A and B are shown apart, each in its own frame.
Chain A
Amino acid sequence: MKSSLNPVQDRSSRSRLGKLVLLGFLGAVFLIVALPLTGYLLVGETAAQAQQGATNPLSEYWRGAREGTQGYTAVTAPQANVLITDSGQNWRQIRNGPLATYGAWLMFLVLAILAVLFLVRGRIDIDGGRKGMTVERWKLSDRTLHWFTAVLFILLGITGLSLLYGRAVLMPVMGPEAFAAYAQGAIYVHNYLGLFFGIGLLLMIVKWFRVNIPKGHDLGWFLSGGGMLKGKHPHAGFVNAGEKLLFWTLFFVGGAIVVTGVILLFPVLGQSREVMQISLIIHAVTSILVISFIFGHIYLATVAMKGSMEGMVGGRVDVNWARQHHDLWMKELEEKGVKPQPAADAEPPPKPAEEPRPAAS
Chain B
Amino acid sequence: MAKMKFLCDAERCIECNGCVTACKNANEVPWGVNRRRVVTLNDGVPGEKSISVACMHCTDAPCAAVCPVDCFYTTADGVVLHDKDLCIGCGYCFYACPFGAPQYPSPQQRVFAVRGKMDKCTFCAGGPEEVGSKAEFDKYGANRLAEGKLPACAEMCATKALLAGDGDMLADIYRKRVMRRAGRPETWGWDKAYGAGV
Contacts and interface: CB of A to CB of B under 8 A. Distances in A.
Interface stretch (B97-105, B152-160, B172-180): B97-105
Using C-beta atoms within 8 Å of the partner chain, give the interface range for chain A: 35 or more
Nearest to A56: B187
Contacts of A163: 68, 90
Interface string A245-277: 000000000000000000011111000010011
Chain A interface secondary structure, helix, strand, loop or mixed?
A: helix
B20 interface: yes
Contact of B96 (A56, A91, A171, A267): A91
Contact of B191 (A57, A75, A180): A57
B95 A192 contact: no
Interface string B52-64: 0100000000100
A298 to B, nearest CB: 26
Contacts of B108: 268
Contact of A167 (B68, B87, B98): B68
A81 B39 contact: yes
Interface stretch (B110-118, B119-127, B136-144, B162-170): B110-118
Interface stretch (A64-72, A137-145, A286-294): A64-72
Nearest to A165: B68
Interface stretch (A25-33, A36-44, A82-90, A336-344): A82-90
Using C-beta atoms within 8 Å of the partner chain, give the interface range for chain B: 35 or more
Contact of A74 (B37, B85, B94, B190): B37
Nearest to B191: A57
A202 interface: no
A184 to B, nearest CB: 5
Interface string A300-311: 000000000000
A212 interface: no
Interface of B: 17, 20, 32, 34, 37-43, 47, 49, 51, 53, 62, 65-71, 85-91, 94-100, 103, 107-114, 184, 187-188, 190-191, 196
Given A61-B42, A72-B39, A167-B67, 8 more contacts: A56-B184, A58-B190, A69-B41, A77-B34, A88-B98, A89-B62, A171-B70, A176-B86
30 contacts: A57-B47, A61-B42, A64-B41, A65-B41, A69-B41, A71-B40, A73-B37, A73-B40, A74-B37, A75-B34, A77-B100, A77-B107, A80-B39, A81-B39, A82-B100, A83-B39, A83-B51, A84-B99, A85-B98, A85-B99, A91-B66, A92-B65, A167-B69, A176-B70, A180-B86, A183-B69, A187-B90, A265-B112, A268-B110, A273-B94
